[in-house]
Amino acid sequence: MPITSDQYRQIMRRYPAAVTIISTGRAPERSGMTATAVMSLSAEPVRVVCAINRSSLTFAHMERNGFFCVNTLSQEQTELATLFAGRDTRFGEERFSEQHWTTLESGAPVLRQAVMALDCRLNQCIEMGTHALVIGDVLAGTVVATQPPLLYVDGRWAGLDTRLACAA
């Protein structure tokens, strides 16, 4: 018997991931979503890839705008992670506040206090069923905060145990 979607979801709950907000657009038409399916694709050329649900508002806006930013959250930013995961009624521009957001090269929204941010031009979208692999060429990047990154595992926000940190 092949594995079911539910069994797969249960297994993937154990997969620890860094938490990002992928943001796009310009005020007053910004949108953004919490996303963990993000990884570095290559350093030459400098590219990142994310798996984005094609039914999300953010995906529609990314395709239309051609730019987006990947903002990695710190452990201080669980409220933003929850907000951008759509856990309340705020949608699109309503999730943004000037206090938290600025812009870089592409004009896409960049989170001021992100652990790191990658400002990207959309290179290619590869449709894969419910999701799309979105490949971005990185135009600029920042490392803004020294706080440890926010993680997601077992259906919860989590942090690094820095006592375990040693050279890899």
Ligand X SMILES: Cc1cc2nc3c(=O)[nH]c(=O)nc-3n(C[C@H](O)[C@H](O)[C@H](O)COP(=O)(O)O)c2cc1C
Q: Which residues bind ligand X (CB under 6 A)?
A: 19, 31, 33-37, 51-53, 56-58, 85-86, 91, 152
- Least distance (Å) from ligand X to the CB of residue 1? 27
Report the C-alpha gap between 76 and 127 in whole angstroms: 34
- Least distance (Å) from ligand X to the CB of residue 111? 15
Output 86 or 107, the one with its CB closest to ligand X. 86
Q: What is the separation of C-alpha 160 from the centre of its chain, rounded to a whole number of angstroms?
A: 18
- Least distance (Å) from ligand X to the CB of residue 8? 15
Residue nearest to ligand X (CB): 86
* Cβ-proximal residues to 110 (8 Å cutoff; 6+ apart), any chain: 23, 69, 71, 101, 102, 103, 104, 117, 119, 142
Output 68 or 106, the one with its CB closest to ligand X. 68
Output 66 or 86, the one with its CB closest to ligand X. 86
Report the C-alpha gap between 35 and 32 in whole angstroms: 9
- Least distance (Å) from ligand X to the CB of residue 29? 12
Output 125 or 167, the one with its CB closest to ligand X. 125
* Cβ-proximal residues to 39 (8 Å cutoff; 6+ apart), any chain: 48, 49, 50
- Least distance (Å) from ligand X to the CB of residue 52? 4
Output 30 or 142, the one with its CB closest to ligand X. 30
Q: Tokens 């079911």 label which residue?
A: 4
